Chains A and B, each alone.
Chain A
Amino acid sequence: MIGAVAAGAAAAMLRPLSTLAESAPITRRIPSSGEQLPVIGLGTWITFNVGDDTELRDECAAVMRAFFRDGGGIIDSSPMYGSSQPVIGYGLRKLGRPSGLFSADKVWTSSGSRGPDQIEQSRAYWGVRRFDLLQVHNLQAWEEHLPTLLAMKAEGGVRYVGITTSEGRRHEELEKIMASRPIDFVQVTYNVLDREVEDRILPLARDRGIAVIINRPFRQGALIREVEHHPLPSWASEFGAGNWAQVLLKFIVSHPAVTCAIPATSKVTHMVENMGAATGALPDAGLRRRMVAHVEGL
């Protein structure tokens, strides 16, 4: 046993440094704990809501397998996403409960008193002992849910607490919560065309030590469909982007305040492309400005 471990370590030491750098996904630190999180996660809105269709469930499990194989960590869902939660549970069971999972779910009900039951139902669907992260979905009844989630965290029932919004909605209220409540995560929409959060939300997150999850990185696929007819710019190779998905994702995760992006997909090929954005270099500030100008000009 010891010999096998030693041999493995020796083999790892002998691997070229460049290979290690390419295979290990880029991670970001969760400010409240220091824990590292891979910068590309997996969203499940629409794509994982496949009901009890075994063929489609198996396709989702294949996406999850590719995700974990390439070093993915965070999977995000919500009770609002139809059957996505049981489909995640199906995939996790099929994959033997991958150790790299960082489970992120939400509470989504207008009643504060119904929150704990909904969370327990979600946990049962996933088949996890506890969630790593629980978020208040779209700020719904957050005044009631947030104390519940923070109490759960204090008792060890969840590791992190957060709050979400999307498509630029209710940012003022979100800012107030970020400034006044001890939350670990915030989830917002950000992509090369929707950059409203750059002004106030992202700087505030850095100041307050709040991790940032980015949803709708491709505008629900519309952004990809818009740009994919255009040739990949030559500067994409400067930061190792081999396709448009990687260009768009690298733009997002290269922002210093962003912890991870959670693109959703039901295709393994797209998952592999997305995970490619978590490897290699990231664009610097100059390139980021160039990316914005280029995509806006398309």
Chain B
Amino acid sequence: MPEWWTYTLSDFLLFSPRTYYRLIERHNEATWPWQIVTLGLGLGVAALLRRQAPWQGRAVSAILAVLWTWVAWAFVWQRYATINWAASYFFWLFAIEVLLLVWIGVVRGGMSFRGRRDAAATLGIALFILALALYPMLAPLLGRGWWQAEIFGVVPDPTVVATLGLLLLTEGPPRWGLLAAPLLWCLVSGATLWAMGSPEAWVLLPAALLVLGSSAARGRPEP
């Protein structure tokens, strides 16, 4: 890109905030009452975290893979792509994460949650609760109404934040392979929200930074 230093974030913004949030509103209307199911699955994940069953990690990974697939197909590909030509690239980012969740978490059983109590785990729990319980409240709190609420498992941002939280809760070294796509999404979506002047940027970008720093501090590279 010639003269790249002359570009600002707003130069890359393709749509208005009103168009973006109406997109979420229409998606919520079209998928209702799927929101109840996805929030139920989120609570199911929370229940699994408390239960030390041998298949716990596989079940959590499978739920995440299903929700990432649904978000990628129903929102990113079918809806977001109508106002953002880059969404087709984001779709493949989500697809890669699904494949990694299936391969590492479901097939190899490489994810387990044993109730760690360190700082990273505390941050993970906080992010998971934020994604499930607080994220849907942001739209009404910011005056946009309930139909524009961003729900875990329905739209990308809370789904990604919840995934980051869960990845911080896993045993062993940081899962950099699984962290890459959610962190990249936080950067892309956070920059978009920032350019739109949306306060949610203050959730997504700091969350990504905290996860990055926390994972780096957690220790050794993945074997």
Contact = CB atoms under 8 A, between A and B. Distances in A.
B83 A170 contact: no
A53 B15 contact: no
Contacts of A167: 6, 11
A27 interface: no
B2 A170 contact: yes
B19 A169 contact: no
Given A169-B2, A169-B6, A50 B14 contact: no
B19 A49 contact: yes
A46 B3 contact: no
A220 interface: yes
B154 to A, nearest CB: 18
A82 B16 contact: no
A141 to B, nearest CB: 12
Contact of B22 (A46, A53, A81, A170): A53
B2 A49 contact: no
Contacts, number: 48
Contacts of B14: 46, 49, 81-82
Interface string A36-54: 0000000000110111110
Interface in B46-88: 79, 82-85
Interface of A is mostly: loop
Given A49-B14, A53-B23, A53-B26, A83 B83 contact: yes
A56 interface: yes
Interface residues of A, number: 19
A272 B74 CA distance: 38
A47 B16 contact: yes
B51 to A, nearest CB: 42
B129 interface: no
B26 A170 contact: no
A215 interface: no
Interface string A50-88: 111101100000000000000000000000111100000
6 contacts: A49-B16, A50-B15, A51-B82, A82-B82, A83-B82, A83-B83
